[in-house]
């Protein structure tokens, strides 16, 4: 391992001095059931330390407590550094993937489950945790086709639902718009949005009563089949049994997936290679 990987005054250089030619193997193990994610980043990190990596699992697999993830082979100093740098990628991503899988399995197949909150993460985390959510079976885009997402701030700058949709009417892609009841009754917002070309209505209040009222209003006007109805806003695990019975097409769950606890891992040196 090149010394520039660590600061030159790192104590581990002194601790492992003279052991450069001693090659060991170490294992990374889950200590709890999980859905595996984060392998790409963890393997890249291990390779950057000059370690040989042997993978025991694939991303998306469900594993049991005690199951091996990776075997790492290399000198003592590299393995000591790997314990600090490799586990975090798998631990955090697998926690997100496990939560995503759980949410997906708790809702009926007719509801598209989305995690769009990755866009609010620090840039360096986004790719890893977005992929982790997808590995867990949750979509990371509200619809698969190209779309324009018009949130509350766009609507405020254009002065309302109608003005916002008219401003983007000539642009390609589906029009997805947030409804929050800021411009009148939320059912009136839904009517304005649909009349002006929105194809997905996102009730972003977190209030079940709001999305129920919008769904009922659309049915009453004979419009329900013309749009997809989405719901978001601080949705938690305890809300899912209620949400499962709602007349919605899309549920957007952000923080409850992305803030999932890290999956616990164990790093064990197994002996000479």
What are the backbone dihedrals phi and psi of residue 174, each rounded to the nearest 5 degrees, phi first? -65, 150
Looking at the domain that runs over 3-97+261-272, which CATH code has it been given?
3.90.1170.20
The residues with which 55 forms a beta bridge, in sequence order, are 70
Give CA–CA dist 62/35, Å, rounded: 4
pLDDT of residue 4: 60
Instruction: For residues 107-121, give the mean pLDDT.
Output: 93
Residues 107, 243: contact at Cβ < 8 Å? Answer: yes
CATH 3.90.1170.20 intervals, the chain: 3-97+261-272
Confidence band (pLDDT; 50, 70, 90) for 2?
very low
E strand map for the chain: 23-30, 34-35, 52-55, 62-63, 68-75, 112-114, 147-150, 174-179, 200-203, 228-232, 250-252, 265-272
Distances from the Cα of 198 to the Cα of 25, 121, 156, 263, angstroms: 57, 27, 17, 40
pLDDT digits (tens, 9 = 90+) for 73-104: 999 999 999 999 999 999 999 999 999 999 99
> Is 139-252 CATH 3.20.20.70?
yes
Q: How confident is the model at residue 1 (pLDDT cuts 50, 70, 90)?
A: very low
Q: Using one digit for the tens of pLDDT, what is the confidence trace for 7-23?
A: 877 888 888 888 888 99
Write down the pTM of the prediction: 0.89
How many Cβ atoms sit within 10 Å of the Cβ of residue 255? 13
CA–CA distance from 187 to each of 12, 118, 200, 201 (Å)?
Answer: 64, 29, 14, 11
**Cα(23)–Cα(257) distance, rounded to whole angstroms?**
39
* CATH 3.20.20.70 domain residues, the chain: 139-252
Query: Per-residue pLDDT tens for 156-195?
Result: 999 999 999 999 999 999 999 999 999 999 999 999 999 9
**Which residue shows structure tokens 């798998």?**
90
The mean pLDDT value for 59-63 works out to: 96
């Amino acid at each position: 391992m090149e010394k520039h990987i660590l600061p030159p005054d790192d104590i581990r250089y002194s601790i492992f001095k003279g052991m450069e030619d001693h090659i060991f193997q170490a294992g990374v193990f889950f200590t709890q059931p999980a859905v595996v994610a984060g392998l790409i980043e963890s393997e890249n990190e291990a390779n950057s330390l000059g370690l040989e990596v042997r993978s025991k699992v694939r991303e998306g697999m469900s594993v049991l407590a005690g199951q091996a993830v990776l075997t790492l082979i290399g000198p003592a100093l590299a393995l000591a550094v790997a314990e600090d740098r490799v586990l975090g990628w798998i631990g955090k991503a697998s926690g997100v993937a496990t939560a995503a899988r759980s949410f997906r399995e708790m809702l009926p197949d007719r509801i598209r489950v989305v995690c769009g909150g990755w866009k609010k993460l620090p840039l360096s985390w986004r790719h890893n945790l977005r992929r982790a959510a997808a590995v867990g079976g949750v979509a990371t885009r509200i619809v698969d086709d190209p779309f324009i997402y018009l949130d509350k701030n766009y609507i405020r700058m254009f002065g309302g639902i109608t003005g916002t949709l008219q401003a983007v009417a000539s642009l390609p892609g589906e029009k997805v718009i947030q409804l929050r009841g800021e411009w009148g009754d939320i059912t009136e917002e839904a009517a304005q949005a649909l009349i002006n070309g929105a194809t997905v209505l996102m009730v972003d209040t977190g209030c079940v009563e709001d999305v129920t009222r919008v769904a009922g209003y659309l049915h009453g006007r004979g419009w329900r089949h013309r749009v997809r109805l989405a719901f978001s806003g601080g949705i938690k695990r305890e809300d899912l049994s209620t949400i499962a019975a709602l007349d919605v097409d899309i549920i957007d769950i952000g923080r409850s997936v992305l803030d999932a606890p890290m999956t616990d891992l164990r790093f064990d040196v197994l002996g000479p290679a």
